[in-house]
Structure 1
Amino acid sequence: MKASIVTIGDEILIGQVVDTNSSFIAKALEKIGVKVHEMQSVSDDRQHILQTLSQLEKNVDIVIITGGLGPTKDDITKKTLCEYFGDELVVDQNVLAHVVDIIERAFNRPASQINKDQALVLSKSTVLFNKVGTAPGTWMERNETVFISLPGVPYEMKYLMENEVIPRLITRFKRPYIVHKTILTYGVGESLLAERIEHWEDNLPEFIKLAYLPSPGRVRLRLSASGLDEFLLHREIKSQIEKLELIIKNDIVGYDDEETLEVVLGKLLTERNLTIGTAESCTGGSVAATLTSVAGSSAYFKGGIVSYATEAKINLLGIPSEVIEKHSVVSEAVALEMAVRVQKILNVDYAIATTGNAGPAKGESDANVGTVFIGIATPEGVYAEEFNFGQPREKVVDRAVNKALEKIYKEILKN
């Protein structure tokens, strides 16, 4: 079973709006065994939309459309769908009452005719009632293909996908089971990881596929199994992961897409009742931002100092100026001082420090661009390591953050 996702709107094509809807829809479909055949964005153009729908009808079972359902003249999706299906727009009284109620309560004024036109729906469609917004979704069928039109506002689209679309698709189609499991690894590059697990990968059952999903400092390994026996799929995925753990156990830090290293690290700190703080230079607070992006991080993250300039390292952290003069601001000695001093200032169990040249210019140090020293302070002591993360600047910062989290995670596991 195949589906296509179509986003409508010039704002997407010119880069003014980032399409997050397609990603959400694709994940929701995969969970119920519907494979996404393609995603595409089309302009607010009647002929473009008609051509797209005609092509997709021949190739897929499900077409999900988002966008173009607003009340203004540039929103043409409903009228174009009417033309495609040879239908007409009629007022849905339940939707109309809902729209009027929302406008009157939210803006304390009568609903205008433009607002009321949101209640216009295709006469032959099944209306997908939108409790969280004014634009309803619609469900249409032609030549065994289901066409679903949803509003482009993300939270409205998500509500309709979860409460209207997915339940109806489950009832309408017989689908295979699809089981995904993602293994999160840190500190090993994609090519080296592939070499180490080559034999294991070559012996995976035919119904299990492996995908490498690399990003700076980390590689996600996604196993996907498809078939009619859900119990068998889960059992075989579990068995294959157990075999994989025998090969790269020390490089695995978590499982599933949502279980990032910062989430895993947060759980570990919480379980062990430990605290952490940061002192950052070249990463500019990115380590702290990553740690605090996790809900509940206040239980273990006590604070961070962004000592970007040399004066801040001296005045805020208390690093002796002679240490900086002797070793340079980008050095092992300064990273050690930063880690130890912020650990003491914040009274935390563990501390992370970063100092380096992210580029593009060398700045206050002669160290090569891309050089970063990461200091780690623990209850047992402190150490620092030198890395060169290359260029560009964004890559240096991303890799430094990931490496810092990897180092502190592995350090905590030792104790």
Structure 2
Amino acid sequence: MKAEILSTGDEISKGAVVDSNSAYIAEKLEDAGVEVTRHNCVGDDLENLVSILREIGSRSDIAIVTGGLGPTTDDLSSMAAAKAAGVELLLNDTAFQSMKKFFENMKGGIGTKSDQKQALLPEGSECLINPVGTAPGFVLNINKCKTFFLPGVPHEMMRMLGDQVLPRIDKLLGNEIVFNKTRILSVFGLAESAVSEYLENINEIFSDIKIGLRAKFPEINIKLYVRGNDEHGLNMLLDNAQGWILEKIGKWVFSVEEKSMEEELGKILAEKKATLAVAESCTGGLISNMITNVAGSSDYFLFSGVTYTNQSKIDILGVSPETIRDCGAVHEQTVKEMAQGAIKISGSTYGIATSGIAGPGGGTDEKPVGTLCIGIATPIEVKTFTFNLNFGKRVMNKTIFAMIALELLRKELLGIPA
């Protein structure tokens, strides 16, 4: 069974309001076993609304329309639905009585003549009572498509979708059980184009799976999606596709459970009963913030220090003044001593230290903006790294710096070459 979603209103078509309704509806429909094939958006124009409703009615089994059910002149959904179905608008007694009850409870009357306009529904439609607002919804067959009309106010739409629309869709599905299965693989260290090249043959090998790539800076998400009646078979198919992907780009995949880098790192630290201390300069506490976003991180995260100035590196972490003088703050020797200092202060088994130039200024020919030095302290040594990657914006540079540091420690803990 295929479905479409239509959002109406100038405020949405012109970008003044973000359409969160469609994403919510699509997720609920997919959970119900209904495939959403299109998202549509039309402004407050009667002819355009009639046209799109007829188009949807000719190609889809189900449609959910939001918005345009209010009392004002630009609320056109009921009129457009009637024209699209070739019927008249009639006063619907169920809608009228529900509105009357709502207004009596709220302000002691049926409301204005404009309010009563909301009880005019297309002939042959079924009223969907709105328990939390004035505008009733309705369901109407337009051509072969069962079309549900709901208010655009999110909390009203959500309530009516759950209470009245989804149960009706379940009845339409009958005894058909459709499973929707997804798998999200999170990648860091490869550009989207590179991921695409590595996986260029996947559609030929796994033709039943839909594969999508989404850039979610600073990571890339690979989404595997499959639907069908055999739940066990679908899971096996996803397992096989995941295994194929891991053979291709496994060293860049940090999660197959849609978890963040910090969640994956925290899980590994907890499993190994290891502890961590962090000394940050250029990342300004961002690494520590990410780590402590994970519930339970106090079990393994022992120390955080933002030593932004040279003197604080010396005074707090014990970095040698000679190192600062001879090497500068952005140097592998400096982050080595910073990481050692963090471990010494906290008694942790592992340490991270960062120092770099996030920009937009501060770079030199020798150390341009985007230069990053990282120290990863282990129980037996300190490994140091230097990178140069400038994304043009300070916040983006800091974000990528923090992710690189966490990824280096994750690989160290798992024995994966950096």
Deviations 1:210-264 (A, max 9, x none): 33334445433333334444443333333343454455544433224x4333332
Q: 1:33 to 1:329 in 2, by over 3 A?
A: same
Structure having the higher Rg: 2
CA distance change for structure 1 residues 193 and 55 in 2, over 3 Å: closer, same or farther? closer
CA drift of 1:46 comes to 4.0
User: Are residues 160 and 343 of structure 1, via their aligned partners in 2, closer, same or farther at CA, if it must alter by over 3 Å?
Assistant: farther
User: Which digits, 9 at most, give the CA deviation of each residue in 1:175-198, with x for residues without a partner?
Assistant: 854432223333344455555556
Q: Structure 1 pair 129/290, CA: closer, same or farther in 2 (3 Å)?
A: farther
Q: Does 1:383 align with 2:383?
A: yes
Cα deviation, residue 265, structure 1:
2.6
Normalised by the size of structure 1, how large is the TM-score? 0.77
Structure 2 counterpart of 1:184, which letter?
S
5+ unaligned residues in a row in structure 2: which ranges? none
- Structure 1 stretch displaced more, 167-176 or 92-101: 92-101
Q: CA deviation at 1:13?
A: 4.1
Query: Structure 1 residue 154: deviation in Å?
Result: 4.2
Aligned amino acid, residue 254 of structure 2:
V
In structure 2, relative to structure 1, the CA distance for the partners of 1:240 and 1:87 (3 Å cut) is same
Q: Which residue of 2 aligns with 1:291?
A: 291
One-letter code aligned to 1:389 = L
Helix, strand or coil at the partner of 1:360: coil
| Structure 2 counterpart of 1:288, one-letter code | S
| Aligned-partner Cα distance in 1 for 2:3–2:96 | 28
SS at match of 1:222: strand
The equivalent position to 2:89 in structure 1, one of 84, 87, 90, is 87
1:182 aligns with 2:184: yes
Corresponding residue number in structure 2 for 1:339:
339
Paired residue for 2:144? 144
The share of aligned pairs that are identical, in percent, is 34
Give the conservation status (yes or no) of the 8 Å contact 1:277–1:348.
Answer: yes
Describe the shift of the 1:81–1:229 C-alpha distance in structure 2 as closer, same or farther (beyond 3 A). Answer: same
Q: 1:388 to 1:13 in 2, by over 3 A?
A: farther
3-state SS in 1 of match to 2:240: helix
Shift of 1:297: 4.4
* Alignment CA distance shift 1:10-1:321 (3 Å): farther
Q: How does 1:294-305 map to 2 (within 5 A)?
A: 294-297=294-297, 299-301=299-301, 304-305=304-305
Summarize the Cα distance change of 1:360–1:138 in structure 2 as closer, same or farther, 3 Å threshold: farther
Residues 307, 68 of structure 1: alpha-carbon distance in 2 compared, 3 angstrom cutoff: farther
1:401 aligned residue: 402
In structure 2, the residue matched to 1:36 is 36
Question: CA 1:302–1:23 in structure 2 vs 1: closer, same or farther (change >3 Å)?
Answer: farther
Offset at residue 392 of structure 1 (A): 2.0
- SS of equivalent residue, structure 2 residue 361: coil
- Structure 2 counterpart of 1:187, which letter? G
Q: Is residue 13–residue 42 contact of structure 2 (8 Å, CA) maintained in 1?
A: yes
SS at match of 1:232: helix
Matched letter for residue 409 of structure 2: I
Partner residue in 2 for 1:261: 261
Q: How many residues align?
A: 407
Distance 1:330 1:111 in 2: 72
Question: Is the partner of 1:17 in helix, strand or coil?
Answer: coil
RMSD: 4.1
**Whole-Å Cα distance in 2 between the matches of residues 279 and 127 of structure 1?**
62
> In the TM superposition, what is the alpha-carbon distance from 1:402 to its structure 2 partner?
2.6
- The residue aligned with 2:224 is 223
1:81 and 1:63 mapped to 2: Cα distance?
A: 12
**2:71·2:118 contact (CA, 8 Å) conserved in 1?**
no
CA contact (8 A) 1:330 1:365 kept: no
- After the TM superposition, which residues 274-289 of structure 1 pair with which residues of structure 2 at under 5 Å, given as runs? 274-289=274-289
**Which residue of 2 is the match for residue 122 of structure 1?**
121
Query: In terms of mean alpha carbon deviation, does 117-126 or 262-271 score higher?
Result: 117-126
- What amino acid maps onto 2:212 in structure 1? A
1:54-93 matched pairs, under 5 angstroms: 54-68=54-68, 77=77, 81=81, 86-88=88-90, 90=92, 91=95, 93=97
Equivalent residue number for residue 235 of structure 2: 234
CA distance, structure 1, for counterparts of residue 16 and residue 316 of structure 2: 41
Contact residue 185 and residue 222 of structure 2 kept, 8 A:
yes
Distance 1:354 1:361 in 2: 18
2:343 corresponds to 1:353: no
8 Å CA contact 1:189, 1:217 repeated in 2: no
In the TM superposition, residue 387 of structure 1 has moved relative to its aligned partner by 1.6
Gaps of 5+ in 1: none
Instruction: Say whether the 8 Å CA contact 1:357–1:365 is kept in structure 2.
Output: no
TM-score with structure 2 setting the length: 0.77
